Structure 1
């Protein structure tokens, strides 16, 4: 039997959840190894990722760094074919802009959570204030354009855009940064995606280290 992939990440991370969501949707079994100390500066704690970032998928042939790379690696290991829309298959400029704004939103969420909730830095700092403003602007654009973007997607079982957007929206409420409710189309989209079995199996949680 081939060695099972090992996913190194955090159950509270939206980038990790994106990888887990793809694994569940594609039916790829994996072992999950949570990282408890995000303050660590040792690459060994991040499965050898020199950038000290998560998630990392550890395969027999080596590590895979980053959520999108991991999602593509998982597709290659899936036993049943699925129609997946990747970034390069998005049909038009608006859809590609939507994916870019989702990535920017996910990174802004990391910036706000790590800076303000983990590092306890002041939120009024222009570094965080500008990030929050840009985040709100991106969400407003996504809310206004979501229906047209989704309608234009080619037939598919799964898309990186939808999965990453769902992970972002759920993470906003999990980490209590910005509310989703004011964005009517985004809130409806998240509610629909929440019904997928893969979403239920990958719900956000805080990893608790085992007692000695």
Structure 2
């Protein structure tokens, strides 16, 4: 891994935060480059990602697209080995279901935020109403199963499941999408992960365009 890599994304994005969390946990220096205009349809504004999506890790040999892809690239280039638990290493179907529902929740959060808060489309549209229902159902399942899933995980320094779940849960409050309070186990999990130094160094924020 070069001395410093470039990460293109948004401080308000849970996918970007997942990549930043891994970089911080692995003690990898990176320069963060925010994208201010999500309405842009020019791949150049997304570090060359033809899908017009973030984050992107820019390396001398070329860009790396997508949060999980970036996390794996960072781990592969880290100087100090860490015990990373990936999806394919999860011990049972329930844990893998948890990861699937986290990914679903992250996608639904983008759908709801971009559709209703950015594009200002009506919330009563079936497209958003069904997404919100499915999101709530996924959170309820995660809340009911989280403790048993975590108890069954093998020893690790960082797991993709826990890191991505934390990014999702923190984003609910940040974007004022769904209240976390009804999900007692998820709220306790988020509070514990919030104490990690890497979590505190990657807190959500809205990127501000510098004057001038």
Q: TM-score range by the shorter chain?
A: over 0.9
> Partners in 2 of 1:90 and 1:2 — Cα distance?
30
Answer yes or no: is 1:69 the counterpart of 2:69: yes
1:94-105 correspondence to structure 2 within 5 Å: 94-105=94-105
1:196-207 correspondence to structure 2 within 5 Å: 196-207=196-207
For the residue of structure 2 that corresponds to 1:38, the secondary structure is: coil
Structure 2 unaligned segments of length 5 or more: list them: none
> Partners in 1 of 2:158 and 2:2 — Cα distance?
26
Relative to the length of structure 2, the TM-score reads: 0.99
Answer yes or no: is 1:33 the counterpart of 2:14: no
Q: Is the 8 A contact 1:108 1:135 kept in 2?
A: yes
Q: How many residues align?
A: 212
- RMSD value over aligned CA atoms? 0.9
How much does 1:3 deviate?
Answer: 5.2
For the residue of structure 1 that corresponds to 2:191, the secondary structure is: helix
Q: Is the 8 A contact 1:3 1:60 kept in 2?
A: no
For the residue of structure 1 that corresponds to 2:79, the secondary structure is: coil
1:125-167 Cα deviation digits (max 9, x unpaired): 0000000000000000000000010001010000000000000
What's the counterpart of residue 113 of structure 1? 113
Answer yes or no: is 1:182 the counterpart of 2:209: no
What's the counterpart of residue 88 of structure 2? 88
Relative to the length of structure 1, the TM-score reads: 0.99
Q: Is the 8 A contact 2:14 2:167 kept in 1?
A: yes
What's the counterpart of residue 130 of structure 1? 130
> Partners in 2 of 1:5 and 1:180 — Cα distance?
34
What's the counterpart of residue 169 of structure 2? 169
Q: Is the 8 A contact 2:3 2:29 kept in 1?
A: no
